[in-house]
Structure 1
Amino acid sequence: MSTDKDQLYTAPLNGEWIKSSYSNGSGDDCVRLMRIHGGVALDDSKSPHREPLRYTPTELAAFIQAAKAGEFDHLIDN
């Protein structure tokens, strides 16, 4: 039986990548996101040969809420 996650990895990447306004201005140091059928793809612009990771809306919402709450702040060099 196929899961929602399996279906994400068969969804075409035919949308538009969105990069953070916090990314490097030249556009070569970016984490990018694209809405796909059933979720969101996450890509590293420096490694276009790698398959993007794909997340369900629930997974992405949990990550964003945790980031907003500061749960990952200790991972960032100040």
Structure 2
Amino acid sequence: MAAIPEPRWFKSSYSGGSGTECVECAHVSHGALIRDSKCSNGPILSVHPQAFRRFVDSVRHGLRQPS
């Protein structure tokens, strides 16, 4: 059986340079992984690909859900 490759984590180009406020993401076959960059051994959130795409599009375009 082939080994599962380690996720390749990345930060947004808009993340703060001070390292105080950032999340990291990784694309995987089942969607995306999200974690706190300051706690790389902490919890990881797994997100369905369509949900992650909608989230990124919403952030990119400043869309908000009605309250």
TM range (shorter): 0.5 to 0.7
Residue 33 of structure 1: which of 25, 41, 62 is its match?
25
Aligned residues: 61
Length-normalised TM-score, structure 1: 0.61
> In proportion to residue count, which structure has more helix?
1
Give me the TM-score of the superposition, normalised by structure 2.
0.68
For structure 2, list consecutive stretches of 5 or more residues without a partner in the other structure. Answer: none
Identity %: 31
Structure 1 residue runs of 4+, over 6 Å off?
Answer: none
Q: Partner of 1:54 in structure 2?
A: 46
Deviation at 1:65, TM superposition (A): 2.0
Q: 3-state SS of the aligned residue for 1:41? A: strand
Distance in 1 (CA, whole Å) between partners of 2:20 and 2:9 is 13
Is the partner of 1:62 in helix, strand or coil?
helix
Q: CA RMSD in A?
A: 2.2
TM-aligned CA distance change 1:71 to 1:13, over 3 Å: farther
Mark the runs of 5 or more structure 1 residues left unpaired by the alignment: 1-11, 73-78
Q: Which has the higher contact order (CA 8 A, sep 6+)?
A: 1
Q: CA 1:13 to 1:26, structure 2 compared with 1: closer, same or farther past 3 Å?
A: farther
